[in-house]
């Protein structure tokens, strides 16, 4: 009798446990703060949120780890505080272990991952309209090209990651820069032909056809493809969407006339400006006399885009293209990625390089558009090709300072980096024309090679 009851109890218990063990008991809800990838790309609202997630990286992370550091790395900015990671840039002696350098690299590749994922996922998506798929895919291609353009300039032979396959990417080797440029041009041409001239969303904060064209003109210039650089710049200037150029005081307001693409800011201020614009006391970053002296007398850019402050008898000059250093939603500013002013200078150089100097469609005419906006008289110096090219490059220095590392990129492109910065600071070494690939990457990828001299 007793053993029978025991058997019953045991049978019940084992039955209960067996029942408990079924798979349902270890099933969990999908996390409430996450959306499965197939659902993200099954709906245009969530797919939009994924696409704009890439744009958002620029003001949040990428530019903060890049712009002011490249200003320090060249001859634009100097720094008075004691953070060693920043002082490395002042000396142009950046070790592979430097944190801003890793962050810059990391966030660019995070953006590239999301571009690659979006491109791959959209190919699989059946729920989205074909126009949405086409637009989003090409925005992702534009953003991928934008990231690679800067990476290849800063680091040289970067690994070209164009899929999300971790088995391939984790041990990928460096690509030569020609292959990277090939990919950039391919992506930009796709974006240029597939994106419309209309901007998605309000304002000019998502890439359109002309954003792709503007970056393409830049890439052509970098590749010394003067003909295509000129025609691309012309397409933008001739569209009259971005011209005439607004006065210097209006140029950096949100959705200004000359904005081709800007990165939207959440609270109306560019986050990088918080540290660049001083409040009271001595600024942490300020312009070198070398840059301040590069302006001609009466240049409106000097008075509009540079803030002068006097602390303890010393005069400091600070970046002031963006004027909001804290939340300002009534007069917002967005981080401008591409603008028409630069396109005039690209076209000017492309024309000058082709020997097209004077006349209404000559290099000097474009140069004068920029000079006129700056309140300066027309170019009146020597008109031989090399003088004009030099004048255009000088104009770029005073027009595009502290924007996207232009000074570094331009000097490097024209082969003048070692001479210019080498004479500016004693600690400059020739290998500094590329920054080091972050140590973390080398540690975890045996096929990656460090840049020369690091």
59-98 binders of other proteins (CB under 8 A): 60, 78, 80-84, 88, 91, 93, 95, 97
Nearer to other proteins, 375 or 422 (CB): 422
Nearer to other proteins, 152 or 370 (CB): 152
Cα–Cα distance, 267 to 206 (Å, whole number): 18
CB of 165 to other proteins, least distance (A): 9
Nearer to other proteins, 91 or 393 (CB): 91
- Asked if 16 interacts with other proteins (CB under 8 A), we say yes
In the chain the first and final C-alpha atoms are separated, in Å, by 84
- Asked if 431 interacts with other proteins (CB under 8 A), we say no
- Asked if 331 interacts with other proteins (CB under 8 A), we say no
Binds other proteins (CB under 8 A): choice among 1, 4, 5, 386: 5
Contact 250, 256 (CB under 8 A): yes
Which residues are bridge partners to 294 per DSSP?
none
Contact 414, 393 (CB under 8 A): yes
Cα–Cα distance, 358 to 367 (Å, whole number): 10
Is 280 in a helix, a strand, or coil? coil
- Asked if 288 interacts with other proteins (CB under 8 A), we say yes
Binds other proteins (CB under 8 A): choice among 7, 11, 15, 21: 21
CB of 297 to other proteins, least distance (A): 22
CB of 383 to other proteins, least distance (A): 36
Is 286 in a helix, a strand, or coil? strand
Binds other proteins (CB under 8 A): choice among 73, 89, 105, 305: 105
- Asked if 23 interacts with other proteins (CB under 8 A), we say yes
Angle, CA 451 vertex, CA 290 and CA 429 arms, to 5°: 35
Could you give the string, one character per residue 382-401, with x where binding to other proteins holds by CB under 8 A and - elsewhere?
--------------------
CB of 349 to other proteins, least distance (A): 31
- Asked if 14 interacts with other proteins (CB under 8 A), we say yes
- 55 class by beta-carbon count within 10 Å (0-12 exposed, 13-18 middle, 19+ buried): buried
Which 3-state string (H, E, C) describes 95-120? CCCCHHHHHHHHHHHHHHHHHHHHHH
Largest CA distance in the chain: 117
Residues 154-193 that bind other proteins (CB under 8 A): 158-159, 161, 164, 166, 169-172
Tally of CA atoms within 13 A in the half-sphere of 313 that contains its CB: 0
């Amino acid at each position: 009798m007793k053993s029978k009851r025991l058997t019953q109890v045991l049978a019940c218990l084992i039955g209960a446990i067996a029942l408990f063990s079924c798979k349902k008991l270890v099933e969990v809800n999908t996390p409430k703060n996450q959306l499965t990838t197939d659902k993200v790309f099954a709906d245009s609202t969530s797919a939009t949120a994924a696409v704009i997630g890439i744009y958002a990286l620029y003001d949040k992370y990428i530019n903060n780890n890049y712009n002011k550091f490249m200003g320090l790395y060249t001859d634009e900015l100097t720094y008075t505080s004691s953070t060693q990671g920043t002082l490395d840039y002042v000396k142009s002696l950046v070790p592979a272990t430097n944190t801003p350098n890793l962050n810059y690299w990391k966030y660019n590749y995070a953006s590239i991952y999301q571009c690659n994922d979006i491109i791959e996922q959209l190919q699989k998506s059946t729920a989205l309209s074909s126009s949405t798929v086409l637009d989003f895919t090409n925005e992702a291609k534009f953003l991928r090209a934008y990231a690679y353009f800067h990476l290849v300039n800063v680091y040289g032979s970067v690994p070209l990651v164009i899929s999300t396959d971790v088995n391939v990417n984790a041990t990928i080797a460096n690509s030569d820069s020609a292959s990277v440029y090939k990919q950039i041009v391919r992506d930009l041409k796709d974006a240029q032909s597939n994106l419309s001239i209309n901007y998605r969303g309000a304002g000019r904060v998502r890439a359109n056809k002309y954003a792709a064209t503007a970056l393409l003109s830049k890439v052509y210039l970098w590749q010394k493809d003067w003909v295509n650089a000129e025609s691309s710049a012309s397409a933008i200037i001739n569209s009259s969407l971005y011209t005439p150029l607004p006065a210097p005081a209006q140029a950096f307001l949100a959705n200004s006339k000359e904005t081709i693409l800007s990165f939207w800011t959440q609270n109306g201020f560019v986050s990088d400006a918080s540290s660049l614009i001083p409040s009271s006391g001595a600024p942490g970053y300020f312009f070198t006399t070398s840059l301040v002296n590069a302006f001609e007398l009466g240049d409106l850019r000097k008075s509009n885009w540079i803030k002068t402050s006097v602390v303890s008898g010393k005069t400091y000059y600070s970046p002031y293209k963006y004027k909001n250093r804290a939340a300002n939603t009534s007069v917002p500013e967005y981080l401008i990625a591409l603008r028409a002013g630069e396109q005039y200078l690209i076209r000017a150089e492309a024309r000058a390089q082709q020997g097209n100097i004077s006349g209404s469609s000559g290099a000097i005419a474009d140069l004068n558009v920029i000079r006129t906006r700056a309140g300066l008289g027309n170019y009146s110096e020597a008109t031989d090709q090399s003088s004009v090219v030099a004048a255009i490059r000088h104009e770029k220095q005073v027009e595009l300072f502290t924007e996207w590392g232009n000074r570094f990129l331009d000097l490097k492109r024209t082969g003048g980096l070692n001479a210019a910065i080498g004479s500016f600071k004693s600690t400059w070494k020739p290998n500094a024309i590329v920054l080091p690939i972050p140590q973390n990457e080398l540690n975890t990828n045996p096929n990656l090679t460090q840049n020369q001299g690091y």
